[in-house]
Each structure stands twice: as C-alpha cells, then as structure tokens.
Amino acid sequence: KANGQSGQNFEQRKWEDEVIHTALPHFGSLDKDAKSKQPKYDYILDEEIQFVQQLTIPGVNEFLQQKEKSKLHEHEDENKRKYRTLLESRKTLPIYKFREDLMSAIRDHQVLIIEGETGSGKTTQLTQYLFEEGYCEADTEDEDEVEDGDDDDNIKLPDGKKKTKKKMMIGCTQPRRVAAMSVAARVAEEMNVKLGREVGYSIRFEDCSSERTIIKYMTDGMLLREFLGEPDLASYSVLIVDEAHERTLHTDILFGLVKDIARFRPKLKLLISSATLDAEKFSQFFDDAPIFRIPGRRFPVDIYYTKAPEADYVDAAVVTVLQIHVTQPLGDILVFLTGQEEIELANEMLLERTRKLGTKIKELIILPIYSTLPSDMQIRIFEPAPPGGRKVILATNIAETSLTIDGIHFVIDPGFCKQKTYNARNGMEALTITPISKASANQRAGRAGRVAPGKCFRLYTSWAYQHELDDNSIPEIQRTNLGNVVLLLKSLGINDLVNFDYMDPPPMETLRLAFEQLYALGALNHKVELTKLGRRMAEFPLDPMLSKTILASETYKCSAEILTIVSMLSVNNSIFFRPKDKTLLADTARQAFFVPGGDHITLLNVYNQWKDTNFSTQWCYENFIQFRSMNRARQVRDQLETLMERVEIEILSNPADTIGIRKSICAGFFYHTAKFSKNGMYKTIRHQQSVLIHPNSALFDQIPRYVIYFELVLTTKEYMRQVIEIENEWLRETAPHFYKTKKLDDDDKVKKMPKVLGKIKAELERNYS
C-alpha cells in the first residue's frame, strides 16, 4: 500500500497506534504568505466582522432548546410550535435584514442578479418573501384571456360559484436533485404546509407538486422541459435561476431562454442568484441588470496546506478527521470527496479506526451525503451532533454551495471533484476526477466559517493552490455532449443553434457532433431540421440514444420490454448487491439471472421475476438484488409509461422476441457497436478503439462476433458495460443512415456522412469567428 508513505508524512500518520498528538503535525502551519495572496472573499473584512458581531444570534438549536425549556407554548400543538421556532430562525438569516430593499429592487427591475454568501437564505427565503408580497396572485389583466381560452381553469363548483382561477407560480431552479428536494422540504416546513401541495418540487422522473403548488423548486433540466409544454412559461410570475454560478449545461441554456421570454413578458420577474462569484458576468449577459449583494455572515477561516502532495487523499482525509477529532475543540467536520465510492470507502475506514480507538475518543457520528443517497438518509445530515460528540459529514461537492449545514467548524478539502468531460473528437463522455478550481476551493473553505471562526485543511500544497488550480471551473456546456439539448432546442423551434444567446458558446466541434448523431438517429433530416421522429424523441427526458430505442420498440412491438430495460439502465449499476463477505453467493445469484442475448435481456429478466413476486422486498433480499434501486426503476418506468401515451405508442409486450428487443436497442445504440478482432479484444466500429466485455457481463466468457454496449467504463482497462449480442445485418436494418455496406465483414466501413453534413460544418465554421 502506498498510502501516504511518501516521506515525512508517514511517520506522523501512525498516530492511531495510540500516539495521540496534541497538534496537527502533518500540516504546515498557517501559510501567511499564501493567505495574503488569496482573493479577497476568502478573508473577512473588518467591517464585515463588526457586522457579524452586531448580529449575535442564537443558533437554531439553542433556540429550540430554549423554547423547550421555557415551555412557553405548551398549549400549542407541536406543528405550531415548530412553525414559530422556524419563523424566529428565519429572522436571523442575513437576507432578512434586506428584505424590504430586496423587494423594492425586484419591484423596480425586471431582472435582478442576487449575490450572497452560501447560507444567507437566498434559496429558502426569496420564494417565501415573493409569495408574501403577492407574486402568486394571478395577474388581473391576463384574466379575461384565461377565462375565454381555457374552460378547465374555471371549474363550476356545486354551489354555483366559479372556482377562482389558478394562481401564478414562483419557480426556483437548482442544478441538483438533492438540493431541489431538501430545500422544498425545508420551505414546506417553514410555511407549515404539506410538501407537494403549496410547496413542491419537480425532478426528473419525480413530480412532487400539484394543482395547488405556488412555490416550485425544480432541477434546471426540468424547467427546460417545461418550455416544451408552455413556451412562454405563462404559469410563472417569477423565475429564480438559483446557483447560477454552477454553470451547468441546463442552467446555461436556461439563461438564453429566460432572457428571451422576459423580453415579451414584461411582468415576469427574473432573478439570477449565485454564491459570491461571477455576478458581473451574469449582469453583463442580462443587459447590465443590477446586482443586489447580500453581505455575508462570515467568520475568518484559517487555511492549512500539506507540506507535500498526498499520495492517497482518501486516506489522508480520514487521518485528518481523526486528528481533528482528538486534538480540536468540538465542532463538526465537513469532508469533500468526489463520489459515492470514495465516500463509502472513507466511511468504512473511519468506522474501523474509531472502533479500534473505542472509548478513548469522543463520539463521532459519520454521515454521508451524495445525490443518489435515499432521502431519509439525506435528512440526517441536518440533525445536530449529540451533546459532547461531533459529526463528520462526508459529502460530494453538493455541500459546496447548494446545501448549507449548520455547525461546521472544520473543512477538509482534498482538492478534487468528479467532472464530466467530453472528447469532441470521438464523442466519448467520461466522468473523471479532476482538480477543483480556486473558486471552488474558496467556497469549500468558506463552509467552515459560517457559525464561528473555522479551519480549512487543504490536502494539497500552497504551491499547488497557486500554480495548479484554475481560477474558475469550465462551464459544463464546453465539456459535455449536446445531443439532448440540441434536440430540445430544435423542438422549441430554435433552429439557429450557432447564434443562440450563449453566455459562453459550446465548442463548434461539439455542436457538429450533436447534429451528426441526431442525423444518424433520424431525429434531424438532411436539412438539419427536426423530423417527426425527432419531435417524438424530444418528449423523453433521456439521452437521444435511449429515446430512439424506445421509439423503435414500436416497430418491433416490444415497447413494454424496452420500457423496463431503459428504466433498469437508468438506475445504472446498482441493481446487484455484492456484500464484501458474500461475494461468491452474490455472484452465483447474479449469474442465475443470465439469459441468452446479453445483459439488457438479463436486466429485463430480473425485473420481470421481481414483478411476478408482486415487487417483493424479501425476494430482492434473497436474490442479492437492491430493493431501493428496483423501486426506483419501477418509478422511472411508470413515468416513462405516461410519456408513451403522449407520443401515442401502444404498450405491447412480447417478452419471447429477444430479437425484436435487441433490434430496438440496436436502433438507438448503433454508435456503440464493437466487433471481435484477432487480438482477443473488441474494436469499436466508429473509432477502432480496443475494448473488452466487462467481467460482470452475461457475455463475459462467450465471444459474440458483434456486440452493442450501453457504456464504456475505464478501470484498469476500457470495458464495455451492459452488452448484448447482435447480428451485423441488424445494423443496416435499424440504422440505414449510418451503415452503408450490407455486411460489415466486407470492409467494416461506416457510411460516410452525407455531403450535407459537410455543409453543416462549413456553416458552423463560417458562423464561429
């Protein structure tokens, strides 16, 4: 094991063998030099300190305890008491003092950029203030129009009165599902309403809102999809594009679209809210919209760097947690890791090491948080640490700005995050662990200074901070596949995607590839216009390859099976449970599901067997299947089924026809064909890349000549995951635009994209100056 054995640090790491240090030996002392070079927002200004001191607010928890003790409101039911407590704590948020100013700025300006430190109350309070100001009241001038137009809006009640027409909504977008859910839950609580009624959320495959909803949190991707049904978003009176600094692909596209609708809906209010980053850039984009800055509540944070680079940052993070725990006063710890696997690993390591230390140390509660964690587990991170104990939160960069957890005094920042990267040359998308930007590093450090002065331990050197980290992260639009977004924009009638109003334009090559793929899939015609097929594909919130697969199932009369397969693929790789102490049993159980044809058919088999047990938990348990994932697949499937009605595809079941099923998959995934080659490897047809069948695949020890894979994963080798066997004739049948030769054996040549695509390229090049 190379765990941090690099030089000086190793000796000091050995402290678990009962050598408990009183200082934090493996860090350099505070790097004064680096400190002075930090951007200004990393350090608190004097007047800010004074501002903070004036506030002297009791924390929410103290407040709760006080209330409990005084039993002032004993007569009230628990809900009311909670509501009052929350109401009090809402008043302690930094944004509260600016409520009037903020509301009048919103009255005066159609577009407003709101910048404020994470935790100042932007996400949870703005919507409520706006609601209280009456922004949900339907606009009276529009009323006639609504009454004439749509009778459904004015339902006659039995007593003869007309039901008042629907109120307008306040929408607030979030880049992350978890944030949308947890923030909606919090606001519902603060308003003392049931989640899903007046306050709701909408995320892909899960709509927790209703007719009554007036405050709606949603992922940016969901709002984008709402344009399809309502191109002017007429049901919203206010749109808040929150966490704008994250610059996700969907947020960036939203910028262009909402800017446009704001022009012809003068009453629409548009708020762009962001952490303390990039406000000027947003203002510029939105025609010099004014910026409203909410002064933050922020305490100084001392920053420590490691003396030498860390060989294994997960191990280093774990050691640092324990060092803080034994040497530092109470206060919670937040550790930034890149994903679920790392978080689980760190969790295990911490459990094991704290167990060894037994009662020598105070209680340490370990809490993971990542986007796919079940929501009941997610809520736990907000619970206070037990008296005399400490909690440590192991989080992805979701905790950087989108979630605010009170009580954090220490931050451990290994300096990495998982980022999507896209190789526009070969169209390969991958999630890679990448160094964060300076802006991110500073956001992370800031998490330690919300309630009191804090400390941030950076598991990299100060030299690395200054020389190796970029100032800002690259916006997602410049490093991702655009197929889905291009399809969506085309179906919104936006044809000129080159001259779309981008804040930062995507690389031309990426746009070209998206056109090319959509053409190959039949979603665009040779004039690069949306086809009927393309329009139907756009209805699905899925990758175009998956949407095409679903639509192709109509031809092969197996839509029921394809829906199941697509749903199972969407809960990717978490179907089979493989506990470390029972790998053999788990593998046998998994292999028992294998059926000829390949992994997609195997997934179908798992689902159908589960369905036959009436979706039994026990059955999952006995067969090493993850019940939660299955449930999620079922939920996704239900959602997709309702979308099928919209595109008018009948649900037909034909489970025995595995050829039809595989042909449907072929119609969507022909880009992902690989052929067995002489050296014992497979070669992808498009890029002649050498790949292997993943060892977990049902086809692992067979050697089908042609396969189609769902995705490539790079571990020790480049593996194809979720593989089916196909016949090469199927390619020509299902993808006539793409495969020319009758038999791939002839020369394995892929049909040249027609000349028209050359024209697209020229056109793009002309427009990109």
- Where in 486-515 is the site for ligand CDP (CB under 6 A)? none
Size of interface with ligand CDP, in residues (CB under 6 A): 16
Identify what 93 binds: Mg ion, ligand CDP, none; CB under 5 to 8 Å per kind.
ligand CDP
Nearer residue to Mg ion within complex by CB, 297 or 662: 297
Instruction: Indicate which single residue of 42, 114, 115, 118 sits in contact with ligand CDP (rule: CB under 6 A).
Output: 118
> What span, in angstroms and rounded, lies between the C-alpha atoms of 391 and 375?
19
List helix spans (H) across 150-234: 177-190, 220-229
Contact between 547 and Mg ion per CB under 5 A = no
- Where in 264-303 is the site for ligand CDP (CB under 6 A)? none
Nearer residue to ligand CDP within complex by CB, 125 or 664: 125
Instruction: Indicate which single residue of 153, 226, 406, 641 sits in contact with ligand CDP (rule: CB under 6 A).
Output: 406
Contact between 446 and ligand CDP per CB under 6 A = no
Q: How far is the CB of 375 from ligand CDP (least distance, A)?
A: 11
- The residue range among 114-122, 415-423, 461-469, 491-499 that interacts with ligand CDP, by the rule CB under 6 A, is 114-122
Identify what 629 binds: Mg ion, ligand CDP, none; CB under 5 to 8 Å per kind.
none
> What span, in angstroms and rounded, lies between the C-alpha atoms of 550 and 539?
11
> What span, in angstroms and rounded, lies between the C-alpha atoms of 727 and 346?
45
Cα–Cα nearest to 649, from 568, 525, 540: 540
User: Which DSSP string do the residues of 713-752 spell out, in sequence order?
Assistant: EESSSEEEEEEEEE-HHHHHHH-TTT--SS-HHHH-PPPP
> What span, in angstroms and rounded, lies between the C-alpha atoms of 99 and 667?
55
Cα–Cα distances (Å) from 559 to 549, 551, 552, in that order, read 9, 8, 8
Contact between 122 and ligand CDP per CB under 6 A = yes
Nearer residue to ligand CDP within complex by CB, 327 or 372: 372
Nearer residue to ligand CDP within complex by CB, 251 or 404: 404
DSSP β-bridge partners for residue 724: 598, 708
- Phi-psi category of 200—alpha, beta or left, where left has phi over 0 and alpha has psi -120 to 50? beta
Contact between 382 and ligand CDP per CB under 6 A = yes
Nearer residue to ligand CDP within complex by CB, 118 or 397: 118
3-state class (DSSP) for residue 631: helix
Instruction: Indicate which single residue of 13, 34, 121, 177 sits in contact with ligand CDP (rule: CB under 6 A).
Output: 121
Nearer residue to ligand CDP within complex by CB, 78 or 148: 78
Cα–Cα nearest to 312, from 244, 404, 455, 414: 414
What is the pairing mode between strands 111-116 and 169-174? unpaired
Nearer residue to ligand CDP within complex by CB, 118 or 673: 118
Q: How far is the CB of 175 from Mg ion (least distance, A)?
A: 10
> What span, in angstroms and rounded, lies between the C-alpha atoms of 91 and 93?
6
Nearer residue to ligand CDP within complex by CB, 38 or 404: 404
Nearer residue to ligand CDP within complex by CB, 183 or 720: 183
**x/- map, 60-99, ligand CDP, by CB under 6 A:** ---------------------------------x------
744 CB neighbour count, 10 Å cutoff:
20
Nearer residue to ligand CDP within complex by CB, 15 or 96: 96
Q: Which helix (H) or strand (E) holds 230?
A: none
- Where in 637-656 is the site for ligand CDP (CB under 6 A)? none
Q: How far is the CB of 120 from ligand CDP (least distance, A)?
A: 4
3-state class (DSSP) for residue 18: coil
Q: How far is the CB of 123 from Mg ion (least distance, A)?
A: 3
Nearer residue to Mg ion within complex by CB, 123 or 734: 123
Cα–Cα distances (Å) from 643 to 208, 398, 537, 663, 676, in that order, read 17, 30, 10, 22, 37
Cα–Cα distances (Å) from 388 to 258, 363, 365, 723, in that order, read 49, 7, 11, 52
Cα–Cα nearest to 413, from 472, 456, 362: 456
Instruction: Indicate which single residue of 120, 202, 419, 434 sits in contact with ligand CDP (rule: CB under 6 A).
Output: 120
**x/- map, 184-223, ligand CDP, by CB under 6 A:** --x-------------------------------------
234 CB neighbour count, 10 Å cutoff:
15
Q: How far is the CB of 121 from ligand CDP (least distance, A)?
A: 4
Q: How far is the CB of 661 from ligand CDP (least distance, A)?
A: 42
User: Which DSSP string do the residues of 349-417 spell out, in sequence order?
Assistant: HHHHHHHHHGGGS--EEEEEE-TTS-HHHHHGGGSPPPTT-EEEEEE-THHHHT---TTEEEEEE-SEE
Nearer residue to ligand CDP within complex by CB, 245 or 637: 245
Identify what 473 binds: Mg ion, ligand CDP, none; CB under 5 to 8 Å per kind.
none
Nearer residue to Mg ion within complex by CB, 93 or 394: 93
Contact between 404 and ligand CDP per CB under 6 A = yes
> What span, in angstroms and rounded, lies between the C-alpha atoms of 129 and 99?
8
Contact between 276 and Mg ion per CB under 5 A = no
Cα–Cα distances (Å) from 768 to 140, 488, 508, 524, 690, in that order, read 45, 22, 7, 22, 34
Instruction: Compute the half-sphere exposure of residue 191: CA atoms within 13 Å on the CB side of its CA.
Output: 24
Contact between 116 and ligand CDP per CB under 6 A = yes
Contact between 182 and ligand CDP per CB under 6 A = yes
Nearer residue to ligand CDP within complex by CB, 256 or 384: 384
> What span, in angstroms and rounded, lies between the C-alpha atoms of 495 and 486?
9
Identify what 119 binds: ligand CDP, Mg ion, none; CB under 5 to 8 Å per kind.
ligand CDP
Contact between 449 and ligand CDP per CB under 6 A = no
Q: How far is the CB of 115 from Mg ion (least distance, A)?
A: 12
Question: Which one-letter DSSP state was computed for residue 95?
Answer: G
User: Measured between alpha carbons, how far apart are the two ends of the chain, in Å?
Assistant: 52
> What span, in angstroms and rounded, lies between the C-alpha atoms of 534 and 548?
9
Q: Give the residue at shortest CB distance from Mg ion.
A: 123
Nearer residue to ligand CDP within complex by CB, 116 or 475: 116
Nearer residue to ligand CDP within complex by CB, 336 or 682: 336
Q: Which helix (H) or strand (E) holds 485?
A: helix 483-491
> What span, in angstroms and rounded, lies between the C-alpha atoms of 370 and 364?
20
**x/- map, 716-735, ligand CDP, by CB under 6 A:** --------------------
Instruction: Quote the crossing angle between the two packed helices 755-767 and 508-521, to the nearest 10°.
Output: 150
**x/- map, 119-158, Mg ion, by CB under 5 A:** ---xx-----------------------------------
Residue the block writes with tokens 């394995």: 748
Q: How far is the CB of 277 from Mg ion (least distance, A)?
A: 13
Q: How far is the CB of 87 from ligand CDP (least distance, A)?
A: 13
- Where in 564-623 is the site for ligand CDP (CB under 6 A)? none
**x/- map, 96-125, Mg ion, by CB under 5 A:** --------------------------xx--
Contact 664, 558 (CB under 8 A): yes
Q: How far is the CB of 441 from ligand CDP (least distance, A)?
A: 18
Report residue 360 CA to chain centroid gap: 39
- The residue range among 117-125, 326-334, 457-465, 692-700 that interacts with ligand CDP, by the rule CB under 6 A, is 117-125
What is the pairing mode between strands 169-174 and 215-219? parallel
List interacting residues with ligand CDP (CB under 6 A).
Answer: 93, 116, 118-125, 182-183, 186, 382, 404, 406
List interacting residues with Mg ion (CB under 5 A).
Answer: 122-123
